[in-house]
Structure 1
């Protein structure tokens, strides 16, 4: 059994850790509120923009060229892996990295064998994971979460879009966590480029007969809408990930605080038992000494 000093030191250590986890939970809760508000405000705009684009593009002649929808043989792939800059958020980062690795093995193994799978990590945890595994990495946009706004994110989206247009990449995919609630995040593997045509069911449900007036022309408007929609989609993925990160961290710190409380109960019980055993031992020694003296 541990001595009293060791148990007392452990109790102090656990109390200190519990104070830290409580503080981190409160900070995560404050950040979550702001991140949740941003993504809730963003979703209707992004969804409406997608619907307008579907409505407008549905009537465009077949010979209209959409350079972002051009399907070609996939030789080089860009994977945008969205993680966090810091840990202590449960399995948030490990799930994303494992999902990205599984996507490479299942869908792009041939390209990976030729070192043609490029990683654009957003978040330092993703950078560390893929750097250790010697993937070709584009490090220019790792720290976007330090100043998360549309202007900064737009640059990363444009880099991916320009790389696709120029033929540097033949496919671009996003891997991120979609925010559902504080305790639940949904892993998403989303094809960013080429733009996938909507399924027949989606066409029936999302495309409505709206009589638009086009100025100067439908084709020119689509040329403006598509890049805008792609950048908004990219930004939305980062907002989803940011809210998911704070929710995951808040949950993890809440569980850590509860575990610390349970551990404190056990340690205090152990401390009391150890102290009682020490007192009992001292009493027995005194009684034994008294009996020895009496017998003499």
Structure 2
């Protein structure tokens, strides 16, 4: 059934309202992306410096007994999954959740072999609807988080590992490549040392540097902070990726609305022409009938 002119005009008006909303969301996301990129870039020097310090102390300290360093038999894996609190971000959430499902299907036979630490409402609701084991979940974090916003979560996550709640921690999140490109990354956080590196660390020569109070005390403080910084850094990347994904999704939605409005206006003009032609035909037919 051919739609009437009123119906077509109503669809045009509705689409134009949607376009205004998506265009506004695009501009908001673009603004947030700029701040997220700045935060991410500002954190990189700190992350690199603390990594350098940790590696230096670990290589110079012969007795590597800190629980964060020591690899152990992996009986249970924790996945730290970062999603968003809101949708309308294209494949941002779905590609992370799909990657997690692939890892679980490939590695684990039962739900007792893994657990999940979740950031974001989209991930939390997804896991809850599928009865997946969640050790801890956090939602409603700010768009531009400070380290203090994640401090409790990162501290608890490291402590869970130390206490033996799980034997390996991996992050699944969107790595920020550029404003138009984000890729899912799986990054092992804990333990900090791989099994293959243990023998090498044991044979590493001690440096001639002196540590105050001593290497053990420094590592006890620094190693958890390093692990927490890895989590926080990945979260900053995820936030930048989220804003970029939402910006691109809203820009595409705005472009699609433009195309739809053009098609509807063309349809409206054709229908209007057909109506005018029909009206003229009826007038001419009526005039000819009167002449007869």
C-alpha RMSD over aligned residues: 2.2
Equivalent residues of 2:71, 2:195 under 8 A apart: no
Quote the residue 1:218 is aligned against: 215
Quote the residue 2:118 is aligned against: 121
Q: Within 2, Cα distance between the matches of 1:199 and 1:18?
A: 55
- 1:115 offset after TM fit, Å? 3.1
Change (3 A) 1:198 1:181: farther
Q: Find the partner of 1:290 among 262, 287, 291.
A: 287
Alignment of 1:5-24 (within 5 A): 5-24=6-25
Alignment of 1:1-296 (within 5 A): 1-61=2-62, 63-107=63-107, 109-110=108-109, 113-145=110-142, 148-197=145-194, 212-295=209-292
Q: Within 1, Cα distance between the matches of 2:246 and 2:65?
A: 45
Equivalent residues of 1:85, 1:145 under 8 A apart: no
Q: Within 2, Cα distance between the matches of 1:70 and 1:198?
A: 8
Q: Within 2, Cα distance between the matches of 1:193 and 1:250?
A: 33
Aligned length: 285
**For each residue in 1:223-277, what CA deviation from the matched residue of structure 2 results, as whole angstroms up to 9, or x when unmatched?**
2221111111111111111111001111111111111111111111111000010
- 1:213 offset after TM fit, Å? 4.2
**For each residue in 1:134-184, what CA deviation from the matched residue of structure 2 results, as whole angstroms up to 9, or x when unmatched?**
111234423334682212312111111111111111121111111121111
- 1:32 offset after TM fit, Å? 1.0
Q: Within 2, Cα distance between the matches of 1:264 and 1:212?
A: 70
Q: Within 1, Cα distance between the matches of 2:46 and 2:196?
A: 21
- 1:211 offset after TM fit, Å? 6.9
Quote the residue 2:203 is aligned against: none
Equivalent residues of 2:143, 2:239 under 8 A apart: no
SS of residue in 1 equivalent to 2:286: helix
Change (3 A) 1:140 1:259: closer
Quote the residue 1:206 is aligned against: none
Equivalent residues of 2:171, 2:189 under 8 A apart: yes
Q: TM-score, normalised by structure 2?
A: 0.91
Q: TM-score, normalised by structure 1?
A: 0.90
Q: Which stretch of structure 1 is more off in the superposition, 134-143 or 19-28?
A: 134-143
Equivalent residues of 1:117, 1:135 under 8 A apart: no
SS of residue in 2 equivalent to 1:144: coil
Q: Within 2, Cα distance between the matches of 1:22 and 1:40?
A: 27
Change (3 A) 1:221 1:247: same
Equivalent residues of 2:78, 2:166 under 8 A apart: yes
Q: Which stretch of structure 1 is more off in the superposition, 183-192 or 130-139?
A: 130-139
Structure 2 segments unaligned to the other structure (5+ residues): 201-205
Change (3 A) 1:212 1:253: farther
SS of residue in 2 equivalent to 1:67: coil
